[in-house]
Amino acid sequence: MKSLKVLIVDDAKFICELVTKIVSDAFPEATVKAAFNGEEAQVLLTSGAFDIILCDWEMPKMSGLEVLKWTRAQPRYKTVPFVMVTSRGEREYVLKAIHAGVNDYLGKPFSKEQLIQKINKVLHKQKAPDVIQQAKAAKMLAEEQQENVPPSRSVLKPKGMAYLRVGDQVYKCAIKDMSLKDVLVVVKNEGEFPQVLDQAVIDIEQLSGDSVARVNGFIQMVEAADVHINSAFINIRITLVDDDPDKMAHLSKYIASVR
């Protein structure tokens, strides 16, 4: 894979740097470029040729779905592997991505091994999007709209509650404090908890219940909530890395509602 050219599209610089390092270590001869929004991705895709595209969903200016649709409309990229790398794993989002011609899906947070495995998989099975699968996805979306079925998502009713996802683990947590830079949560000590510098995704539902603020970050601090070796709870501080204005607006609304 000496000529492998990879494009990473994500508005979080931290994610771009992480993915770049993983790809560069796994494919030393590869050329890796990053775009921090959809418009930058369009410029790079127009000015050069890439063998695989790894793209986030939620970004300012253009969403990952819009980038995918635009990419599939370009003759040179109709069959180029496109992997959606995102925390958006709800049924509706997956169906929309399949309908638009995505090759595969990788959920955040992910491990080094998962990313490399996904890249190898789509490169070895490089082909045009499956029109049958696209048609099935379109039919399922239409049926759900007719039945007025809302997208599936975690329902977070209690005030100040959230879900923290790290690797394959999901922790229900209470929010102790929050700013636009970081979140301090507490989880029940069940003998297994995140490690410092792990990638993390935290889902916070607005008190009105009308939307979910889903943000990316990394674990900055893990400590016992009580000064005791058998502390029943663990404090976890997550440093946020997203720069999306829409996400910041969601967080600002949430912060204002609990203070």
Q: Read off the pLDDT of residues 115-173 as tens digits, 9 standing for 90 and up.
A: 999 999 988 876 666 677 778 777 776 776 665 444 433 333 344 788 899 988 999 98
Q: What is the dihedral of CA 98, 1, 44, 214, to 10 degrees?
A: 50
199 vs 230, more confident: 199
Give the residue among 244, 245, 239 at the shortest CA–CA distance from 219.
239
pLDDT mean over 253-259: 67
The half-sphere exposure of 259 on its side-chain side, counting CA atoms within 13 A, is: 10
3-state DSSP assignment of residue 6: strand
Residue type at 149 in one-letter notation: V
Q: Which tens digits make up the pLDDT trace of 16-32?
A: 999 999 999 999 989 99
Q: How many helices (H) and strands (E) does the chain have?
A: 7, 11
Cα–Cα distances in angstroms (integers) from residue 51 to residues 103, 148, 179, in the given order: 13, 39, 39
pLDDT mean over 215-242: 90
pLDDT at 157: 37
Percentage of the chain modeled with pLDDT above 70: 85
pLDDT at 150: 42
Give the residue among 108, 115, 118 at the shortest CA–CA distance from 217.
108
> What is the domain class of 5-146 according to CATH?
alpha beta
3 vs 172, more confident: 172
pLDDT at 248 over 50: yes
The half-sphere exposure of 178 on its side-chain side, counting CA atoms within 13 A, is: 24
User: Residues 236, 222: contact at Cβ < 8 Å?
Assistant: yes
pLDDT at 195: 93
User: Does the model's pTM come out above 0.85?
Assistant: no
Q: Write out the DSSP string of 163-186.
A: EEEETTEEEEEEEEEE-SSEEEEE
pLDDT at 151: 42
User: CATH 3.40.50.2300 residue ranges in the chain?
Assistant: 5-146
- When the pLDDT of each residue in the chain is averaged and rounded to a whole number, the result is 83
User: CATH 2.40.10.220 residue ranges in the chain?
Assistant: 161-258
Question: Residue 222's beta-bridge partner residues?
Answer: 236
Q: How many whole angstroms from its chain centre is CA 30?
A: 23
> What is the domain class of 161-258 according to CATH?
mainly beta
Residue type at 52 in one-letter notation: I
Q: Considering just the CA atoms, what is the radius of gyration of the chain in Å?
A: 19
- 131-146 vs 91-100: helix crossing angle, rounded to 10: 140
Q: Which tens digits make up the pLDDT trace of 32-59?
A: 999 999 999 999 999 989 999 999 998 8
pLDDT at 218: 95
Structure tokens that stand for 114 in this block: 């998962």
